[in-house]
């Protein structure tokens, strides 16, 4: 096993970028996974101020020993033009949360938040097929979650976002990709089988609910992609009504294996180390 404290000039780098960045758990989680696999690599947090994003990202990608990048709020859509090629999910939702360097120094990217959320739900025994979903947020995470839920077989998704144009464009793209699922941007129902927050609401401790969620029943599934030390207001509300809750930590854990595969880190023969992102794994 690689000693995570023993970093040398040969150690390969991965980074996660965001603004803010202090809330992320990926550095400790991925660095531990690299070490367990015998891979000489670490993942570091990189605070990229939003007003300097366009200047910093090209320089970051030019680092010769950077093999992969994770992307968090608020850059999942802004990062798309920096990818050489996009996976299927990212092409539809217009956002990415991971990039890997290929042997020719190009960058392949895709979006895994939705897969992580669905995996997190299934790990808690949730059956998604046939559910009606109220989803708050049409940004990068919300788009990915909507895509993954439709792919998993939910029957209807209402996407609520303060930017009506953004939710409208997303619904149009998703409807083309999943004609068997019903999409809308206006909440015309009083109850849903599943409530999901994929907006930034909840990142601050004083935040309340992301919007009008209607009545909750014990069978309602409640999810929140926001990762916090303490449960968000939505998760607390769902728990008080006896709902099964999927947290941001559940989503994070649900995409870990998928991201490791995307980076190629699960393909090292015998866990012998090497450059994980140099293994070409098809995105999407």
Q: What are phi and psi of 147, to 5 degrees?
A: -60, -50
N-to-C CA span, the chain: 30
The Cα 190–Cα 72 span in angstroms is: 32
Shortest CA distance to 205 belongs to which of 19, 16, 23?
Answer: 23
- The residue annotated as part of the active site, out of 76, 115, 124, 282, is 76
Mark whether 76 is an active-site residue: yes
Contact status, residue 283 vs residue 157, Cβ threshold 8 Å:
no
What amino acid positions are annotated as catalytic residues? 76
């Amino acid at each position: 096993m690689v000693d995570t404290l023993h970093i040398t000039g040969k150690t390969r780098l991965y980074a996660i970028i965001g603004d803010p960045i202090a809330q992320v758990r990926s550095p400790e989680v991925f660095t531990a996974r690299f070490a367990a696999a015998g891979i000489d690599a670490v993942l570091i947090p990189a605070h990229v101020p939003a007003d300097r994003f366009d200047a910093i990202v090209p320089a970051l990608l030019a680092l010769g020993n950077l093999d992969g990048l994770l992307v968090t709020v608020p850059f999942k859509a802004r990062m798309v033009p920096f990818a050489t090629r996009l996976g299927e999910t990212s092409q539809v939702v217009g956002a990415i949360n991971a990039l890997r360097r290929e042997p020719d120094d190009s960058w392949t990217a895709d979006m895994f938040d939705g897969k992580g959320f669905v995996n997190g739900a299934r790990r808690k025994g949730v059956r998604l097929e046939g559910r009606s979903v109220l989803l708050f947020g049409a940004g990068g995470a919300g788009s990915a979650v909507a895509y993954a839920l439709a792919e998993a077989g939910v029957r209807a998704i209402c996407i609520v976002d303060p930017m009506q144009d953004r939710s409208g464009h997303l619904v149009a793209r998703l409807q083309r990709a999943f004609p068997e699922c019903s999409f809308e941007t206006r909440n015309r129902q009083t109850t849903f089988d599943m409530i999901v927050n994929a907006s930034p609401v909840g990142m601050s401790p004083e935040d309340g609910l992301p919007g009008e969620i209607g009545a909750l029943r014990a069978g309602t599934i409640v999810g929140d992609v926001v990762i916090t030390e303490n449960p968000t207001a939505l998760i607390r509300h769902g728990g008080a009504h006896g709902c099964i809750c999927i947290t941001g930590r559940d989503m994070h854990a649900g995409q870990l294996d998928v991201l490791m595969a995307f980076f190629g880190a699960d393909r090292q023969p015998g866990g012998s180390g090497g450059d994980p992102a140099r293994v070409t794994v098809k995105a999407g």
